[in-house]
Structures are given as structure tokens and as C-alpha cells.
Amino acid sequence: PLFSRAIVKKISKSYVNGLTTSNLGKPDYDKAVAQHEQYVEALKKCGLEVIVLEADESFPDSTFVEDTAVLTSNSAIITNPGAESRNGEIKEIREVVKKYYDKLEEIQSPGFLDGGDVLQIDDHFYVGLSARTNREGAEQFAKIQKKYGYETTIVPLEKFFHLKTGVAYLGNKDLVVAGEFVDHLVFNDYNKIVVEPVEEYAANCIRINDYVVIPKGFGDTKQKIEAAGYTVIELDMSEIQKQDGGLSCLSLRF
């Protein structure tokens, strides 16, 4: 998939008090900021123009911009994030996205949807039903995408936080899968690159132009992705992981 731009948002001081289920402890703010800066550098190395939004103290989780919109080559959908403390994040994102798209679509209550639950594979979307995305939200999403010629498959999640916590598409039919997706029938038509349970966090990786960006410290997964023919960039994500975030969550690529 070819991308030319990314939207990211700086980490606020309130970040350390954001939502999390990870039990990995409180993130170190300075370290988190440094990791975010390296993330931005990596996006640039991948050839993207990076649009950097300022931090917003009133939204601790707002650095995870992926959850607020779904951008494709022909449409932009502003989501309706399922966590109450995050829902207001869409206000700023709507204004920013508007500059790049003529017309915005939106998910509306009682439908809820987080972008982290949306995986695009060519002209097909997979949408996870999670604690953040409900069936009504997923169905609204499917109906919107249908207008643009895209199909959608709804995938109820068993354990994963978001759909993309456990699956990433690299292109060329190569799919990185972990946990409940390893044997999931819905992904049987793809070449599965299987992430071992101890490396599960590495399943959230991102293909950007000539590179695959993966979290640092997951050697087995790195080797498998390289063996499949990809050039890997590794990034230290420790302070992001503590808040349940992954590589995909930190940007909107389009």
C-alpha cells in the first residue's frame, strides 16, 4: 500500500493517566515523548509527509489518533470512539481531515467504532466487534464503504483489545497474525506469518511503502517478516505498550 502522508498527535503530560489494561506500570512521560519522536522520524524515512498535531491535556489517549478516523484513497470516515473519555477527540481530527478530503462520512450513535478495529486489505475491510466497536457501528461502516465499492466482513473478537492488536496486512497476501487469528477461518485465504504467543505485541506492525515498522525486541517475528522479503524498521515502544497502544494506533496514514 502506498501512502504519502500521516497525521500524528504529540503525547500530553496527562498521557500517563490514560486508559489501560496492560498492567505494565505507569509510562515515563519523557521516554514516551522520545519514542514518539522516533516514530515520527520512522514515518519520514518511509517517505511520508507527517502532519504533527499539538498535545491536548484534556484527552490523555489522544496520541492514539488511529481510533478517530478511517482514511482511504476515496473516503474519510470520522469514527465514534467507544470510550467516553476519548469520544471528544474526533472534534479536532474532523477539522484536520477536512483539509484533505472534500466530504466526510461519520459513524453515529448508537453505533460506536474505533479505527483500531478496522483492517483494510485492498478493497476489503475487516471490522472487529470489541469493547469499543459495536455491531451497529460496524454495520454503519460497512454501508458507507459499500458506496465506495468496498466489502466489509465483521469479525467478533474473543480476547483482543482491538482487531489490529492481533493482525496486520503487509501486502502481497501476507498477513501477520497472533492469538485468536492464527486459526481464524476468516483469514484463511492469506499467507499467515504467525507471531508466537510470547511475541504477541509484535502482531501490531505497519507496512508503509518500502518498509515494515515493527516494535523492538521481538526477534522471532522480525526474522519471519524479513524472511518473507520485507525491510524492517524496529522502534522501541515500551511506553506506548504500557497504555495498550501499538504502532498502528499512533498515526493515520493516507
Provide the annotated active-site residues. 162, 249
The least distance separating ligand CIR from the CB of residue 227, rounded to whole angstroms, comes to 26
Of 10, 8, 9, the closest CA to residue 48 belongs to 8
Report d(CA 234, CA 254) in Å as an integer. 21
Pairing type for strands 151-156 and 5-9 reads unpaired
Other C-beta atoms lying within 10 Å of the C-beta of residue 28 = 14
Dihedral pair phi/psi, residue 190, rounded to 5°: -105, 160
72 vs 228, which CB is nearer to ligand CIR? 72
170 vs 249, which CB is nearer to ligand CIR? 249
The least distance separating ligand CIR from the CB of residue 238, rounded to whole angstroms, comes to 15
105 vs 114, which CB is nearer to ligand CIR? 114
The C-alpha cell of 81 is what?
Answer: 470512539
Spacing of C-alpha 157 from chain mean position:
16
Helix or strand (DSSP H, E) at 243: none
The least distance separating ligand CIR from the CB of residue 19, rounded to whole angstroms, comes to 4
Assign 242 to helix, strand or coil: coil
The half-sphere exposure of 47 on its side-chain side, counting CA atoms within 13 A, is 11
The least distance separating ligand CIR from the CB of residue 189, rounded to whole angstroms, comes to 24
Residues within the interface to ligand CIR (CB under 6 A): 18-20, 61, 64, 66-67, 83, 86, 116, 162, 165, 243-246, 249
DSSP 250: G
16 vs 228, which CB is nearer to ligand CIR? 16
The least distance separating ligand CIR from the CB of residue 35, rounded to whole angstroms, comes to 15
DSSP 165: G
Angle at 176 between CA 172 and CA 177, to 5 degrees: 140
Report d(CA 34, CA 46) in Å as an integer. 19
